[in-house]
Structure 1
Amino acid sequence: MVTTDLAKYNNDWYKNSDFTRGFLTTLLWFICNRIFINSYLPLPVFIKIRILRAFGARLGRGITIKPMVNIKAPWNLEIGDYVWIGENVWIDNLGKVKIGNNVCLSQGALLLSGNHNYKKESFDLIIKDIILEDGVWIGARAVVCTGVTCATHSVLAVNSVANRNLEAYGIYQGNPAALVRQRTAATE
């Protein structure tokens, strides 16, 4: 049996990696995030976009960012064109998060690029990129886990958890998310 000993936890490799930007930049970002992005201040989206770009986010055109969005590290974020980010979305991007064009992140969606290795006594930090390809829809309160790629136009239903890659045009539901049907064009 494995026991956890958090006294042995060490993520110095992460603190010194390309994923981080140093103490002062991170502190300044946390303050700006809380005031301008993760708040109910009725700021125009173009101001939020300028702030995110100032901290290294690569952002396309026509992005919508609703109130109370939380982004851990904008320097690890790339967003394409015409992306909707709903209220209370949390992009916990310790690693890289790449979001394609025409993606919808519904209210309360959570993207987790970091996790811990529960099999190791030291509970090591695991960082893997998340990729949401063009046309993906992440439903309200759905979770995309570390290292998952959601292929083009896949859907993760409300309250579902994607801990494995989603196939193109697949609609996934549950915890863990399972393929329930294919996304097809409307016939009306």
Structure 2
Amino acid sequence: MKSSTRNLAGFTGAGYDKGRPKAIQALWLLASTLLCDRIWCPPKLRVAILRLFGASIGDNVLIRHNVRIHWPWKLSVGNNVWIGVDAWLLNLEKITIGSDVCISQGAFLCTGSHDANSPTFEFDNAEIVLDDGVWIAAKATVLRGVTIGANAVVGATALVHKDVPENMRVLAAPATTSVRRMR
């Protein structure tokens, strides 16, 4: 068997601060699982619970059910924001969302990563910023360290790994295989 250059047993998690004591983390996980994620939880209650756990959330914000928010205390949301069903905000670091932003169904915002050059695979996390008027379409992915400029659109299933200037559109690559009838 080939020897690995990774030593995951040596992983320390250096540089990652969860931001709250373990008891608060556990309470959040319980509240999110039992209340926030559920379809029967009214959106206004969902927002109130997120605020209770430290999220900064503006007015007229609609967060649908099954939205996963890793740490609410690392979330800042402006006014008039929509976050669709099954969106996942994996915010090991801060996610800042401006006003009049739409994050569509199944979108994934991920502030976490690992250093591929680290033998112990240490974290390589960074914030995500969505400026005012941004639309992240269905099942799009925005990776750590990215800023999406004002009024930019990230199309369905697109993968964004570097900054997007304002008023730009990022679209997923089209299929490269030819379409033909199955026999």
Corresponding residue number in structure 2 for 1:27: 26
Structure 2 gap ranges (5+):
174-183
Deviation of the 1:51 alpha carbon: 0.4
* From 84, 87, 90, the counterpart of 2:88: 90
CA distance in 1, matches of 2:117, 2:156: 30
Distance in 1 (CA, whole Å) between partners of 2:31 and 2:102 is 24
- The secondary structure found in structure 2 opposite 1:126 is coil
SS in 1 for 2:113: strand
Equivalent residues, number: 171
In the alignment, residue 6 of structure 1 is paired with which amino acid?
Answer: L
Q: 2-side partners of 1:43 and 1:122: how far apart?
A: 41
| Identity over aligned pairs, percent | 33
Structure 1: which 5+ residue stretches go unaligned? 176-188
Question: TM-score normalised to the size of structure 2?
Answer: 0.89
2:50 aligned partner: 52
Number of the residue aligned with 1:174: 172
Is 1:11 the equivalent of 2:13? yes
State how 1:1-188 maps to structure 2 within 5 Å. Answer: 3-14=5-16, 17=17, 19-40=18-39, 42-174=40-172
Q: TM-score, normalised by structure 1?
A: 0.87
Q: CA deviation at 1:3?
A: 1.7
Deviations 1:21-46 (A, max 9, x none): 01100000001011122222x22211
* Shift of residue 174, structure 1, vs aligned partner: 2.3
Q: Distance in 1 between matches of 2:100 and 2:111?
A: 21
Summarize deviations over 1:39-81 as a string: whole Å, max 9, x none: 22x2221111110011000000000111100000000000000
The alignment partner of 1:88 has SS state of: coil
Deviation string, structure 1 residues 78-115 (Cα, Å, up to 9, x no partner): 00000000000000000000000000000000110110
Deviation at residue 12 of structure 1 after TM alignment: 4.6
For the pair shown, the structure with the greater C-alpha radius of gyration is 2
8 A Cα contact 2:14 2:123, kept in partner? no
Q: Could you tell me how far apart the structure 2 residues matched to 1:159 and 1:53 are? A: 30
Instruction: Give 4+ residue runs of structure 1 displaced > 6 Å after superposition.
Output: none
Amino acid at match of 1:118: A
CA contact (8 A) 1:39 1:69 kept: no
For residues 160-183 of structure 1, give each alpha carbon's deviation from its aligned partner in whole angstroms, at most 9, with x where no partner exists. 1100001101000126xxxxxxxx
Give me the whole-angstrom Cα distance separating, in 2, the residues matched to 1:147 and 1:29.
25
Give the letter for the 2:58 counterpart.
G
Greater strand fraction, Structure 1 or Structure 2: 1
